[in-house]
Amino acid sequence: MSGLTPAQARFLGELFPGDGFTAVPEETCAFGADASRLFEAPWAVVRPESEEQVVRLMAWAQEEGMPLFPRARGTNVVGACVPRGGGVVVSTLRMNRILEIDAQDFVAVVQPGVVTADLQKELDRHGLMYPPDPASVRISTIGGNVATCAGGMRAVKYGVTRDYVLGVRAVLPGGRVLYTGGRNHKNVVGLDLARLFVGSEGTLGLLTEITLKLLPKPEATASVLAGWPDTDGALGAARDIFAAGILPAAMEFMERDVLKAVAKVGEVPWPEGTGAALLLRLDGGRKALAADLDRLEQVVRSASPSFLLRGLGAREEEPLWEVRRLINPASFKVAPDKLSDDITVPRSKVRNAVDGIRKIATEAGLTVLVFGHLGDGNLHVNVMHDKAAGEGDRALQVKSQVVELVLSLGGTMSGEHGVGLTKYAHLGKQLSPLESEIMHYIKKVFDFKGILNPGKGY
Amino acid sequence: MSGLTPAQARFLGELFPGDGFTAVPEETCAFGADASRLFEAPWAVVRPESEEQVVRLMAWAQEEGMPLFPRARGTNVVGACVPRGGGVVVSTLRMNRILEIDAQDFVAVVQPGVVTADLQKELDRHGLMYPPDPASVRISTIGGNVATCAGGMRAVKYGVTRDYVLGVRAVLPGGRVLYTGGRNHKNVVGLDLARLFVGSEGTLGLLTEITLKLLPKPEATASVLAGWPDTDGALGAARDIFAAGILPAAMEFMERDVLKAVAKVGEVPWPEGTGAALLLRLDGGRKALAADLDRLEQVVRSASPSFLLRGLGAREEEPLWEVRRLINPASFKVAPDKLSDDITVPRSKVRNAVDGIRKIATEAGLTVLVFGHLGDGNLHVNVMHDKAAGEGDRALQVKSQVVELVLSLGGTMSGEHGVGLTKYAHLGKQLSPLESEIMHYIKKVFDFKGILNPGKGY
């Protein structure tokens, strides 16, 4: 079933010797899906180990008009890694070396296949921090994080992946190597090409090296978990926190149905009837943090929570965060299937979003779990359903209604996950024809034959 | 001397009635120069007050192939506002309204002609902060800051203008209006066009509206000023600060000749023989800050400074920062003319940069003042000279040698100011042919006739 000609297969087999190339369906199969659970059989999979191989691959692919689908750990939930339409999957996982960590320049230079948590662990030993912390951090890679502009909980204070990419080496279709940006923390020479790659979903070039900006690791962290009878209580407290000039390193929100689900799988600290909770983290110098934690607690207490727990330092904080980690396993107690979204709305519209989503869910007779990064207005919306019970279409309809709602509130259909395949059909609702046109022309500047991850992103 | 035909002048006169249009040399003259002191007489100046006028202007200009030179307060030091080659200067200063400040969404929507300090003052009243603080903040505009990706002292902690631009409305040559990005703090739908405008030096479109991300304003600030006999002492202390996990909101460096110059114009707190100084600022909650300041002081004291002063809160800090403000007036006591640069090097190369620059200066017999944003490796290099004494060429040569030095250290020739005209000749030393090619093709996507600020930036 491979779409490759014998000559094409021979070329790839020679360029990627040993198990660097395979077109055996049993082997390529695992590279046809990602966390979206969409699937399309790849024609072949290649596993470059060097930029040189990528250069030859890209020269050949452009010549042949061969679609290439870059892929790392495949944790993408919108199908951005799925080789829709057929072509060769390019796994970056063998380019997985941390090339450099420089504690003076505050940069790390890594290959795209480095797992983000592995980098963070290594940085930890140097007293350094790379802030982006997507939920997938333990399994996803820097290359994948750059392709999607991954965010995470710390974004409210520290920003997203985009804010930490100083430079990239990218091989373009045709095989030319673009090295742009660099290791300087400030650089305003020419257009900002390096950051254009961030969030481009592998459509512009294949990254072989990424230079990241690092920060000094704060001495300590502290957390507060608090709940209210309803969403308004939690949102009011969030407003008060910002109004007090506090910028938390995490501001997570959990809605009623999430709390209920979590209570089913673990011990929970909140009283019956808690309808919304906030999970907050601060970071900073140890002594200062004690004062900041007191202040945060005071602000939150003024918002009359039904309960409040605090923790200073990792050991005390651990049980507070356990709750957050239970959300994913708990969700599958609600229903066996999940359509997950990561909409973002202006912060003042979170209330409208939560109400609207609840209404849509009620009408559809499905449970929708709403939680996430309140500080950014970035909410995860999990439409729980049972495909086997024929609820799949209804779930898709809910997802579609949620997108409409979010856009009507001035939001965006994706704050972190990207567009990939699953949101592609909705693109026209958010991007103007002019935006789309410009994006496609920019794509052509890099990839005029359109061979890189075709049909994704924009 | 106007390059406009009578028909062209008539069109502009009708589109911009009253003093919205002028081609009188005595009036246009002031729009021909910027802080680079380069000059070229504009053919005419127009002052749009509405996006509608800009749309009609851009449609007409593309039709006519008329070069347009966007301009705000002209504080640019690299000639990015100078209408080299002739054309119409478009002043954005009448589009100067703050359209919206939203203390819940943490966004401000402004027209390009808003003076940055005016916005900051207004935000202050709402307990909000827009972090970028270029030295020109009291006179430069948001539009200009976006065009150059302005930085400033707070960049070490908070990043630069790029990190705060969420959305833009831009009128493209031909008159189409691109509204891209928005007011969401996270957004990963399609390529990041909004940020492509940041630092593009007015070459892609004319901004009519900018949506900025805001942060809660920290409760208080604190500062430390300390000195050492030599550069190594100061750089060592800077390393220690970061290694202690402290991320200051400003980390300014002043080199020997700067300290000497400042001592000539004001009372200075340092002892004779001080060869380098650090000026540090922290921000945060008031109580926490007292603890953080103690800790910072302790770290700095461990690096054996020859003096150390500290201040908690604006009143105590004021005299410490007075020193920094004296640098500019002091520099003109050294020599009447200045060529100023804003090179950036990886932080570990600051010592090499300072030494190298001193050597170049000594050989040229000129005083070069080195100071700036050490936290980012972003140094201002002022080549002081006396044109009347025939030192102009030597100063230019020093500037050129400094660029070569910086690039040899892996640095960038501009961290904040941009390329404009004055660094244009050096571009080929920093950008690869492939980078330049891609930038020019991207430019063509927006402006295929090349009418917007031609000959600038890349």
User: B269-316 pLDDT, tens per residue?
Assistant: 999 999 999 999 999 999 999 999 999 999 999 999 999 999 999 999
Residue range B114-132, pLDDT digits in tens: 999 999 999 999 999 999 9
Q: Which of A339, A342, A351, A223 is nearest to A276 (CA)?
A: A351
Residue with tokens 């703050």: B98
CB A110 within 8 A of CB A210: yes
Decide if pLDDT at A114 tops 90: yes
Q: Which of A366, A278, A385 is nearest to A37 (CA)?
A: A385
Which among B289, B347, B416 has the least Cβ separation from residue A188?
B416
Pull the structure tokens for residue B432: 């690869």
pLDDT band at A109 (very low <50, low <70, confident <90, very high): very high
Residue range A366-392, pLDDT digits in tens: 999 999 999 999 999 999 999 999 999
pLDDT band at B161 (very low <50, low <70, confident <90, very high): very high
Decide if pLDDT at B390 tops 70: yes
Q: Do B163 and A160 touch (CB under 8 A)?
A: no
The Cα A77–Cα A36 span in angstroms is 4
pLDDT band at B2 (very low <50, low <70, confident <90, very high): low
Q: Output the DSSP codes for B126-140.
A: TTEE---B-TTTTT-
CB A153 within 8 A of CB A250: yes
The Cα A352–Cα A29 span in angstroms is 42
- Residues 415-434 of chain B with CB under 8 A from chain A are 415-419, 423, 427, 430-432, 434
Decide if pLDDT at B218 tops 70: yes
Which among B176, B348, B441 has the least Cβ separation from residue A102?
B348
> What is the CATH number assigned to the segment(s) B6-93?
3.30.43.10
Residue range A308-355, pLDDT digits in tens: 999 999 999 999 999 999 999 999 999 999 998 899 999 999 999 999
The Cα B119–Cα B146 span in angstroms is 14
Same fold, A220-328 and A335-430: yes
Report the mean per-residue pLDDT for chain B.
96
Q: Which of B233, B306, B312 is nearest to B280 (CA)?
A: B312
Q: Which amino acid is at B197?
A: F
- Residues 254-283 of chain A with CB under 8 A from chain B are none
The Cα A36–Cα B215 span in angstroms is 34
Which among B104, B187, B458 has the least Cβ separation from residue A347?
B104
Q: Do A105 and B442 touch (CB under 8 A)?
A: no
The Cα A92–Cα A139 span in angstroms is 14
Pull the structure tokens for residue A442: 């920019």
Domain A335-430 adopts which CATH fold? Answer: Alpha-Beta Plaits (3.30.70)
Based on DSSP, count helices (H) and strands (E) in chain B, helices before strands.
16, 18
The Cα A439–Cα A433 span in angstroms is 10
Decide if pLDDT at B413 tops 90: yes
- Residues 42-81 of chain A with CB under 8 A from chain B are none
Residue range B343-364, pLDDT digits in tens: 999 999 999 999 999 999 999 9
pLDDT at B329: 93
CB A443 within 8 A of CB A203: yes
Residue range B359-382, pLDDT digits in tens: 999 999 999 999 999 999 999 999
Which residue of B58, B183, B184 is the best one to mutate when testing the A interface, meaning the one whose CB has the most A CBs within 10 A? Answer: B184
Q: Quick check: helix, strand or coil at residue A202? A: coil
By the CB < 8 Å criterion, does A29 face chain B? no
Domain B220-318 adopts which CATH fold? Answer: Alpha-Beta Plaits (3.30.70)
- What's domain B335-418's architecture? 2-Layer Sandwich (3.30)
Tell me which chain B residues have a C-beta less than 8 angstroms from the C-beta of A189.
412-414, 418-419, 423, 427, 430-431, 458
pLDDT at A2: 66
The Cα A350–Cα B84 span in angstroms is 49
- Residues 216-245 of chain A with CB under 8 A from chain B are 216-219, 239, 242-245
- What's domain B98-216's architecture? 2-Layer Sandwich (3.30)
Question: Residue A372: in which H helix or E strand, if any?
Answer: strand A367-373
Tell me which chain A residues have a C-beta less than 8 angstroms from the C-beta of B412.
182, 184, 186-189
Domain extent listing, chain B? 6-93, 98-216, 220-318, 335-418
Domain A220-328 has CATH 3.30.70.2190: yes
Ranges assigned E (strand) in A172-214: 177-181, 206-213
pLDDT at A21: 98
Pull the structure tokens for residue B348: 């570990």
pLDDT at B406: 97
- Nearest-Cα residue of chain A relative to residue B183: A346
| DSSP type of residue B218 | P
- Nearest-Cα residue of chain B relative to residue A102: B348
Pull the structure tokens for residue B286: 């008031």
- Nearest-Cα residue of chain B relative to residue A240: B104
Burial class (CB in 10 A: 0-12, 13-18, 19+), A405: buried
CA dihedral B398, B404, B409, B414 (to 10 degrees): 80
Percent of chain A with pLDDT over 70: 100
CA distances from A29 to A34, A49, A82, A86, A294 (A): 11, 21, 11, 12, 53
Residue with tokens 């709305």: A345
The Cα B109–Cα B100 span in angstroms is 5
Dihedral sign of CA atoms B133, B134, B140, B144 in order: negative
Residue length of chain A? 458
What average pLDDT does the segment B398-424 reach? 96
By the CB < 8 Å criterion, does B344 face chain A? yes
The Cα B146–Cα B160 span in angstroms is 10
The Cα B201–Cα B223 span in angstroms is 34
- One of 3.90.550.10, 3.40.50.300, 3.40.50.1440, 3.30.43.10 is the CATH number of A6-92, namely 3.30.43.10
Interacting residues of B7 by C-beta distance below 8 A, sequence separation 6+: none
Pull the structure tokens for residue A453: 């991850």
Q: Which amino acid is at B202?
A: G
By the CB < 8 Å criterion, does B445 face chain A? yes
Residue range A20-66, pLDDT digits in tens: 999 999 999 999 999 999 999 999 999 999 999 999 999 999 999 99
Pull the structure tokens for residue B327: 């640098």
